Amino acid sequence: MKEQSVIFFDIDGTLLNHEKKLPQSTKEAVFKLKELGHVVAIATGRAPFMFEDLRKELDINTFVSYNGQYVVLNGEVLYTNPLNITSLVQLTEAALKNNHPIVYMNHEDMKANVPEHPYIKESIDTLKINAFPTYDPYYYKGRELYQSLLFCPEGEEQQYEEKFKDFDFVRWHPVSVDVLPKGGSKAKGIEQIIQRLGFPPERQFAFGDGLNDVEMLKAIENSVAMGNGEPITKEVAKYTTKSVEDDGIYHGLQMVGLL
């Protein structure tokens, strides 16, 4: 058996193709990794409830969700990093004045602060998930929230970036931005797992394609950008594989010597 490694996979554009389907070659590759004794994990911006079916299909119980804010190791919560609620309320007030809705998210559900808005539907629909935020403008009360979604056209998030220093704003859709605790990232979440499992840098691998993967690809020694990835992901990654549509995961795992 090859020396055991840990491999972190982003979901959208990495494990799943642009139709949100799991390529057969990717599924086979993941199970082959597990057969070889490697630790396979997910690192995503999604909420846990947004990829439960995928976890079951791939039998993966270790994941970094919410871009590092909610981390689970072997089915047990290892680390959480919630949003500052006081600042979130202030952000909500400012956004409402601009007709920019907010969605509040914890590990179980997501709620919108407006009854409906076309930006929410347009962006959430692209995820092709069996979940949609219902209306609860006070969902932030009495619970920890790990991420919010701010809905605004590209460029308009700058006004919030300048004012709300407790948060990082990462765009994932033309009309939607992830709102994260300042300094939070997939890399920080992954660090919690690495510290517990004790893998040396040379036995750490990560695959990603998007802007929210940049810190992860910088931090992991054996980083792989998808061929369909953003230009900056290819710049910071050690390797670039083929597109997700062209068996990119399987090809990338062969490239780095894991398969």
CA atoms within 13 A on the CB side of 124: 23
> Of 10, 168, 178, 209, which residue is the catalytic one?
10
Dihedrals phi, psi of 11, to nearest 5 degrees: -100, -70
10 as an active site residue: the answer is yes
Dihedrals phi, psi of 112, to nearest 5 degrees: -95, 150
Residues that are catalytic: 10
